[in-house]
Amino acid sequence: MYCTPGKTSFKYLLSVIVIFYMVACSPPRAGRAITEGTTGKYASRPLVSHIYTADPSAHYFDGKIFIYPSHDTATSTTENDNGDHFRMADYRILSMDSIGGKVTDHGVALKVEDVPWASQQLWAPDAAFSQGTYYLYFPAKDKQGLFKIGVATSPKPEGPFTAEKEPLKGTYSIDPAVFRDDDGSFYLYFGGIWGGQLQNWNNNRYDSSAKLRNKDETAILPRVARLSPGMKSLEGEPAEIKITDSNGNLFLEKDNDKRFFEAAWMHKYNGKYYLSYSTGDTHNIVYAIGDNPYGPFKYQGVILKPVDGWTNHHSIIQIGDKWYLFYHDTQLSGKTHLRNVKVTEMKYNSDGTIQPLSAFK
Ligand code: FUB
Distance, in Å, from the CA atom of 60 to the CA atom of 70, rounded to the nearest integer, reads: 18
Distance, in Å, from the CA atom of 201 to the CA atom of 173, rounded to the nearest integer, reads: 8
Q: Judge whether 347 and 354 are in contact, CB under 8 Å.
A: yes
**Distance in Å, CA 313 to ligand 1 centroid:** 7
Q: Judge whether 357 and 62 are in contact, CB under 8 Å.
A: no
Distance, in Å, from the CA atom of 234 to the CA atom of 186, rounded to the nearest integer, reads: 10
Round the CA-based radius of gyration of the chain to a whole number and report it: 21
Q: Is the shortest distance between the CB of 275 and ligand 1 below 6 Å?
A: no
Distance, in Å, from the CA atom of 357 to the CA atom of 158, rounded to the nearest integer, reads: 29
Mutate to test the pocket of ligand 1, among 82, 88, 149, 175 (most ligand atoms within 8 A of CB): 175
DSSP string, 273-321: EEEEEE-GGG--EEEEEESSTT--EEEEEEEE---SSS---EEEEEETT
Does the model's pTM come out above 0.75? yes
Q: Residue 208: which region, alpha, beta or left (left: phi > 0; alpha: psi -120 to 50)?
A: alpha
**Distance in Å, CA 69 to ligand 1 centroid:** 10
Query: How far is CA 203 from each of CA 70, 200, 240, 348, rounded to the nearest angstrom?
Result: 29, 10, 9, 36
Note whether residue 38 is domain-resident.
Answer: no
Note whether residue 33 is domain-resident.
Answer: no
Q: Are strands 177-180 and 162-163 parallel, antiparallel or unpaired?
A: unpaired
3-state secondary structure of 96: strand
List the beta bridge partners of residue 136. 127, 152
**Distance in Å, CA 18 to ligand 1 centroid:** 35
**Distance in Å, CA 122 to ligand 1 centroid:** 10
Q: Is the shortest distance between the CB of 123 and ligand 1 below 6 Å?
A: yes
Distance, in Å, from the CA atom of 154 to the CA atom of 133, rounded to the nearest integer, reads: 6
Distance, in Å, from the CA atom of 151 to the CA atom of 138, rounded to the nearest integer, reads: 6
Q: Which atom of ligand 1 is nearest to the CA of 195?
A: 3
Q: Is the shortest distance between the CB of 70 and ligand 1 below 6 Å?
A: yes
CATH number of the domain within which 268 lies: 2.115.10.20
Q: Could you tell me the end-to-end alpha-carbon distance of the chain, in angstroms, rounded to an integer?
A: 50
pLDDT of residue 40: 86
Question: What are residue 202's phi and psi, to 5 degrees?
Answer: -120, 130
Q: Which atom of ligand 1 is nearest to the CA of 124?
A: 6
ω before 296 within 30° of 0 (cis)? yes
Q: Whose CA is nearest to atom 8 of ligand 1?
A: 263
Structural domain including 276 reads 51-346
The per-residue pLDDT string of the chain (361 residues; one tens digit each, 9 = 90 and over) reads 223 333 344 444 444 444 443 433 334 433 333 344 467 899 999 999 999 999 999 999 999 999 999 999 999 899 999 999 999 999 999 999 999 999 999 999 999 999 999 999 999 999 999 999 999 999 999 999 999 999 999 999 999 999 999 999 999 999 999 999 999 999 999 999 999 999 999 999 999 999 999 999 999 999 999 999 999 999 999 999 999 999 999 999 999 999 999 999 999 999 999 999 999 999 999 999 999 999 999 999 999 999 999 999 999 999 999 999 999 999 999 999 999 999 999 999 999 999 999 999 9
Residue 42's contacts (CB-CB under 8 Å, 6 or more residues apart) are: 308, 329, 331, 342, 359, 360, 361
**Distance in Å, CA 11 to ligand 1 centroid:** 45
Distance, in Å, from the CA atom of 328 to the CA atom of 335, rounded to the nearest integer, reads: 12
pLDDT of residue 38: 60
Q: Judge whether 165 and 204 are in contact, CB under 8 Å.
A: no
Note whether residue 169 is domain-resident.
Answer: yes
**Distance in Å, CA 232 to ligand 1 centroid:** 23
Mutate to test the pocket of ligand 1, among 57, 85, 123 (most ligand atoms within 8 A of CB): 123
Mutate to test the pocket of ligand 1, among 262, 281, 337 (most ligand atoms within 8 A of CB): 262
Q: Is the shortest distance between the CB of 255 and ligand 1 below 6 Å?
A: no
List the beta bridge partners of residue 298. 244, 289
Q: How large is the greatest C-alpha to C-alpha distance in the chain, in angstroms?
A: 84
Q: Is the shortest distance between the CB of 55 and ligand 1 below 6 Å?
A: yes
3-state secondary structure of 97: coil
Q: Is the shortest distance between the CB of 93 and ligand 1 below 6 Å?
A: no
Q: Catalytic site residues? A: 55, 262
**Cα dihedral across residues 24, 26, 31, 35: positive or negative:** positive
**Distance in Å, CA 186 to ligand 1 centroid:** 22
Distance, in Å, from the CA atom of 105 to the CA atom of 341, rounded to the nearest integer, reads: 13
Q: Whose CA is nearest to atom 5 of ligand 1?
A: 124
Note whether residue 211 is domain-resident.
Answer: yes
Q: Is the shortest distance between the CB of 192 and ligand 1 below 6 Å?
A: yes
pLDDT of residue 19: 42
Mutate to test the pocket of ligand 1, among 52, 53, 55, 341 (most ligand atoms within 8 A of CB): 55
Neighbours of 184 (CB within 10 A): 9
**Domains identified in the chain, total number:** 1
3-state secondary structure of 195: helix
Q: Judge whether 175 and 262 are in contact, CB under 8 Å.
A: yes
Note whether residue 360 is domain-resident.
Answer: no
Q: Judge whether 74 and 82 are in contact, CB under 8 Å.
A: no
- Chain CA centroid to CA 219, Å: 21
